[in-house]
Structure formats: structure tokens, C-alpha cells
Amino acid sequence: MSHESQRTTTTERGRIQVTGFDTSVFEDRDERFEWQQAESTVSRERWTRAWERFKRNRTALVGLAIIAVMLFTTVFARPIAFEGVTIQPFSLAPFDPTASNFGALNQPPSIAHPFGTDWSGKDIFSRVMYGGRYSLTIGVITVGIALSVGVPLGAIAGYYGGWVDEVIMRLVDILYAFPFLVLAIALISVLGQGFWNMITALVLVVWIAYARLLRGEVLSVKENEYVTAAKALGARDRSIIFRHVVPNAMAPVIVQATLGIGTVVLNAAALGFLGLGLEPGSPEWGSMLARGRSSLIQGQWWITVFPGLAIFLFVLSINLVGDGVRDAVDPQGDSGGNAGVR
Amino acid sequence: MSLQRYFVKRLLVMIPVLFGVSILTFSLTKMLPGSPVDYILQFQETTPGLREQLEAQYNLNEPVYVQYWLWLRDAMVLDFGDSLISDRSVSGAILRRLPKTLLLGGGGFLIAVTIGIPLGVLAAVNNGNTIDEASRVGALLGIATPNFWLGLMLLLVFSVQLGWFRVIPPDMPTLSLPMLKFVILPAITLGTASSALIMRLTRSSMVEELNKDYVRTAKAKGLSERTVIVKHVLRNSMVSVVTVAAIQVAFIVNGSVVIEQVFSWPGVGRMLIQAITQRDLPVLQAIVLMIAVTIVFVNLIADLLYSWLDPRIRY
């Protein structure tokens, strides 16, 4: 009898008659096989498995531990106040990192000053503790912004191809012609010195690496059947790119981004050393070495040894973590060290 | 795509890149706050007459695209005008300092290759055992050490403490014995990070080659381990090392800007930093453009070499 009732409800001509099942059952099945849900559990499992692999990597955990200690010392080195409200009241650093003491210039390491004092009597131990704030935030913020620029542009270039790809990749090629520091130096000469100007210059240099890497991955990922399937189901380009293509192409980008924090910190320190980074006298690790050469020649080794060791230790730890991340998320992708270095 | 067609396509792609590079370099000075005349006068007070005269002399009253065209036309024949500080020809000053930078860069490159490739081969042959692990740690240390700090430490130990080297480079011609002796420390500083990268790459591409069938065939027909590695595996894995060696050119230019500062080396990198602190725009533009064009050509050569060495590769 249902045969009859269906026929009467259809008024349009030429419609295919589908008969023999209950519509309520049909809707049930559709919900149960919701493909977006299935996809998200798969990717969640993938990241859990990556974390399991990472946890077993002892050298990577050592790196993570060193970074945690450095983060701890730098956060608690001096109180942190936000808009007049003190958020973090502890002060582990024995001296104010920016206060000059003209009674104690160029003091070698002692109990009062474990790392000695510099040419204006500032305590180097306190400055090294505090200086992590600059390097760590510059590294993380720069890579974060660079990813948010490079990932969409790389994905769009790789997915659409054609003239969009040509335009974006030619722009990348043009910027790639300038070595990392030369471009950063040129941009800082235009923007001027300072924290945010330095980050802007570094972002403009760094994003191209992620765009280029992701585009290459997208080119191969978009050939997968599930992308064709998503297209056939009528998914919009935007959701195909960001739900299906990018998550599956991100692994090498995440590895490079982790290692990239190290690259950015090294280059930011180099800018500081050249006197082009933050304002002169800032307790940033690179800037602390800016006048290091002349004091070194006079035999005051402690002024250059300790800030440099801090940079070295941080970048080393980031590289240990980065190698661990690579083994965890992208086991085949040993490109041999940090390809992001230019 | 045949090799010739690929070569032609690759050359054509370079044209917009070179244009882009020149436009970016030219617009650097246009983005600076204030008028170029202020920089020419180094922000000193003058009469309006002199300002107008300077504007006419530097074509500043022309539209921007005309200014760009005039600048590009002169830049093509390496005429970048005079330095704002010394009133001497910019290209002349760069050419005088170029041999010093080439000596430093060449030394750094030599160290990177002579340390990186043999150690990479050694690590690959000993894949998985202690030597491989040691090389991995060594590479990590090499990459993580800030190059300028390594330079300062070498200067401290070998020049200040031991007195084996001078602290300041001798005022001698580039290819004189004291100069070649002095360049040792800066070259080691420059080459360290590159050698670590080249080592890791040589290792991974060799490990990949060692697992291929032809290696087993070569061993099966009775060739010695040494012959297999030197004659077959090394040759095939060098293809990817060539491209990385080309990337190292950019890396070495990058490093020399900082390292010239560490060792007071009178090269182009130091000139660039001086030009920025003194706001000497023609010098800044000339050096930045020169570096970028060099790297575009190095990348071109690397790509062509790569596709010539490995005929399977086509883009």
C-alpha cells in the first residue's frame, strides 16, 4: 500500500521513483555514517599515537626538560605586571637586569655575581635569567604568525594550482633570493629597531619556508581518493582544504616549525649581536654580546661566554625536541638536520 | 619535457624573479620615513636651493616608475652612484672588498665540504652504531651553536689566550700568507654549521642508496665494500648533496655578514652593516641587490646541474 501513497505525494514530472524503504530509516543511516565525525576521530588518534611515540624518545624529553627549566627561571626571574596588576610576584634574579652599578664594572665571576658583571656593572647572571623572555617570546610569536601566513598561502597555491600558484610561488622565489639575515637586516633598516619591528621583519622572512613546504605536500595529498570523494559529495573547496588536505599535509610543516623556533632565536640573537635587534642595553641574549668583542680582547671572557651558552643551550634543546617531533609525526621525513636554516 | 625545454623554461621563470628582486630592493629606500634628500644630506639643515638641486640630480622629481627605470638601467651596468658618506663610487668600493669576502666564503665552503661529506659517508656506512650516533650529536652541536658566539670563543681561546692568531686582520693583499693564516678561524666559524648540515644530508641520502637493489647486485658480483661505496653509492648520493651545497651559498653569505663583524674582516658583509648604521642608501641597495642576484643564479645553476645529473628529475 505504501507504493500507492508515495506515488500520490510526488507531483513533479520525470522524477525517479524510489520505493521500498521507510524515509525515517534512511535519515538514521545518514547520521550514523557522518563522514566528518569519522575523519576527526582518525586524526585525533593519529596525534595521540604521535604523542605516545614522542614520550618514548628520551633525548627529546631531555630537550623538553631543559626548555621547561629555562621557561621557569625566566618567568620567575622578575615579577610580571600586566596593566599595573602584578600577576607573578616572585623575583629569583638577585639583581635588577637593567640596573647599572658603577661601583662594580667588569667584575669576574664571584659569589655575589656568579656570571660576573658587564661594562656598566649590570649583573650578567640576572640578565641571562631574564633574557630568556625575549628569545622565547620572539621565537614562539614569530613562528606562530609565520605559520598563520604561510600555511593558508601554501595550501591555496598547492590546491588550486594555475595562476594563483604562479603568483604566490614567484613571490616566495623572490623572497628566497635574499639570505635570511640580509633580508631581515634590510627590513629592520626600514622598520627601525624594537621588539615588534624585529618580529615583523622575521615573520616576513620565515613564512616563505612554511608556504613552500606545505604547497609541496598539498600537491601530493590532493591526489588522494578521499579528496575526490569529498568533492563528489559536494564539499566546498574551503572545507576540503582545511578539513582534509591541510591536516594530512601538516606533518613536515610541524617539524620545520619546531626547528624553526631555534632558527629564529639564533637569527634574532645575531641581529642583537650586530646591534640591530632591540634597543641597545636590553637584557636580550644576542644584544648582551653586542659589545662582547672589545671586552673579550681585554680578557673579560665572562661577558660573552654565559649569554652565548644560554642561546646554545636553548637552540640545542629546541633541536632535540624538533628531532623527537619528526620521529613522532613524520617518521620517514629525515631531511637531515634543519632544512629551514638558510 | 626534454632537457633543453626544461632549461629554457627555467631561464624564463628567472626573469620575473629578477624583476621582483630589483623592485623589492629599489622600494626599500622608498619605504624609509622622510625624503631621500634627507638621507643624502644626512639630516643636516640646508638651503632650499640645495635641496632642489639634489632632487634634480637624483631624479627625485620624476614619477616613481621613471626613477626605478633609471636606477635599474644604471644598476645593469653596475653603476650604483656614489656613497653618501665617502663620495666614492659604490661599485668600486664593493669590488675592492669582494676578494676578501670571497676568500672567507671560499674557506668556509671548503671546510664545510671537506668535513661534511667524509663524515656523512662514515656515519652512513656505520648506520645505527656508535660512530653514527656520535656524528648525530656532533651535527646537533654544530647546528645549535650561534656562529658569532663560536667565532668569539675561537677568538678568545686561540687569539687572546694562546696568541696563535692576530686579533685584527693584517692590512695586506688578499692572497698573502698572513691573510691566509688569519682567515683560518673565521673560515672554521663559517663552515661549522654548514658542515653539520651537509653531513646529515650526505648520511641520509647515502643510507637510502645503500638499501637499493643495485648495491646488493654489486656486492653479489664480488665487488669490495670500498668499490661499491666509492664508485656506485657515493656517486648517486652526491646528486642531492649538490643542491644542498648550492643552498649553503646563501647560508654562507648569511653567516659572513655576522662573522666579518666578529673578526673585523674588511669584506662586503661588514660594509653592509656599516651602510645600515650610517644610512648610506646607495651602498645598502647595491649590496642587497648584488647578493640576491648572485643567489638567483646559484639556484639556477643548482637546478640545471641537478636535472643534468639525474635525468629522471623534471619539474
Is B149 part of the contact surface with chain A (CB cutoff 8 Å)? yes
Cα–Cα distance for residue pair A24/A32, rounded to 1 Å: 13
**Position with higher pLDDT, B181 vs A261:** A261
- For B270-300, write each residue's pLDDT tens digit: 888 888 887 778 888 889 898 888 888 888 8
- For B79-98, write each residue's pLDDT tens digit: 777 777 777 888 888 888 88
Cα–Cα distance for residue pair B18/B224, rounded to 1 Å: 49
CB contact under 8 A, A342 and B254: yes
The stretch A54-70 carries a mean pLDDT of 85
Cα–Cα distance for residue pair A178/B21, rounded to 1 Å: 8
Q: Give the nearest chain B residue to A317 (CA atoms).
A: B144
The stretch A135-160 carries a mean pLDDT of 90
- Three-class SS of A200-221: HHHHHHHHHHHHHHHHHHHHHH
Q: Which range is most confident: A145-149, B117-121, B200-204, B214-218?
A: A145-149
Q: Which residues of A touch B205 (CB under 8 A)?
A: 336
**Does the structure show a pLDDT above 70 at A4?**
no
CB contact under 8 A, A304 and B156: yes
* DSSP structure string for B91-125: HHHHHHHHHHHHHHHHHHHHHHHHHHHHHHHHHHH
Of the residues A70, A189, A197, the best mutation for testing chain B's interface (the one with the most B CB atoms within 10 Å of its CB) is A189
**Does the structure show a pLDDT above 80 at A148?**
yes
For residue A31 the three cell numbers come to: 547520521
Confidence (pLDDT) at A18: 60
- For B34-64, write each residue's pLDDT tens digit: 666 777 776 677 777 777 777 777 777 777 7
Q: Name the residue among B144, B202, B205 with its Cβ closest to that of A319.
A: B144
**Position with higher pLDDT, A208 vs B63:** A208
**Does the structure show a pLDDT above 60 at A15?**
no
Phi, psi of A118 (to 5 degrees): -95, -165
* Kind plus residue range of the DSSP H or E element containing A76: helix A58-77
Q: Which residues of B touch A182 (CB under 8 A)?
A: 253-254, 257, 272, 288, 291-292
Confidence (pLDDT) at B42: 67
Of the residues B13, B21, B143, the best mutation for testing chain A's interface (the one with the most A CB atoms within 10 Å of its CB) is B143
Q: Which residues of A touch B138 (CB under 8 A)?
A: none
Q: Give the nearest chain A residue to B149 (CA atoms).
A: A308
Confidence (pLDDT) at A203: 92
CB contact under 8 A, A299 and B141: no
Q: Name the residue among A174, A266, A297 with its Cβ closest to that of B21.
A: A174
CB contact under 8 A, A301 and B156: yes
Surface-to-core class of residue B162, CB atoms within 10 Å of its CB (0-12 exposed, 13-18 middle, 19+ buried) = exposed
Min Cα–Cα distance to chain B from A87, Å: 33
Alpha-carbon dihedral B90, B91, B95, B98, rounded to 10 degrees: 70
The answer to whether A127 touches A97, Cβ cutoff 8 Å, is yes
CB contact under 8 A, A315 and B146: yes
Q: Which residues of B touch A262 (CB under 8 A)?
A: 143-144
The candidate with the shortest Cα–Cα distance to B192, out of B123, B251, B261, B125, is: B251
CB contact under 8 A, A179 and B254: yes
Q: Name the residue among A296, A301, A319 with its Cβ closest to that of B143.
A: A319
Confidence (pLDDT) at A336: 41
Confidence (pLDDT) at A140: 92
Cα–Cα distance for residue pair B257/B260, rounded to 1 Å: 6
CB contact under 8 A, A336 and B201: yes
CB contact under 8 A, A311 and B28: no
- For B126-173, write each residue's pLDDT tens digit: 877 888 888 888 888 888 888 888 988 888 888 877 878 777 777 777
Q: Which residue has the cell 607573578?
A: A88
The stretch B10-15 carries a mean pLDDT of 85
**SS3 call for A117:** strand
Q: How confident is the model at residue B27 (pLDDT cuts 50, 70, 90)?
A: confident
Q: Which range is most confident: A120-129, B151-160, B175-184?
A: B151-160
Confidence (pLDDT) at A329: 78
Q: Is B282 left (phi over 0), alpha (psi -120 to 50) or beta?
A: alpha
CB contact under 8 A, A296 and B156: yes
* Kind plus residue range of the DSSP H or E element containing A86: strand A85-88
Is B140 part of the contact surface with chain A (CB cutoff 8 Å)? yes
ipTM value for the complex: 0.83
Confidence (pLDDT) at A22: 60
Confidence (pLDDT) at A333: 53
CB contact under 8 A, B143 and A341: yes
**Does the structure show a pLDDT above 60 at B310?**
yes
The stretch A102-114 carries a mean pLDDT of 72
Confidence (pLDDT) at A302: 81
Confidence (pLDDT) at A144: 94
Beta carbon pairs, A and B, within 8 Å: 155
The pTM of this model reads 0.81
Q: Which residues of B touch A201 (CB under 8 A)?
A: none
Q: Which domains does chain B have, with CATH numbers?
A: 98-314 (1.10.3720.10)
- Mean of the per-residue pLDDT values of chain B: 82
- For B224-278, write each residue's pLDDT tens digit: 888 888 777 877 777 777 777 777 888 888 888 889 888 888 888 888 888 888 7
Confidence (pLDDT) at A202: 92
Q: Name the residue among A190, A274, A296 with its Cβ closest to that of B32.
A: A190
Min Cα–Cα distance to chain A from B145, Å: 5
Confidence (pLDDT) at A277: 79
What is the percentage of chain A residues whose pLDDT exceeds 90? 7
Q: Name the residue among A180, A189, A337 with its Cβ closest to that of B196.
A: A337
Cα–Cα distance for residue pair B141/A37, rounded to 1 Å: 44
Min Cα–Cα distance to chain A from B29, Å: 8
CB contact under 8 A, A173 and B193: no
- For A228-286, write each residue's pLDDT tens digit: 888 888 778 888 888 888 888 888 888 888 888 988 999 898 888 888 878 777 788 88
Confidence (pLDDT) at B312: 66
Confidence (pLDDT) at A335: 44
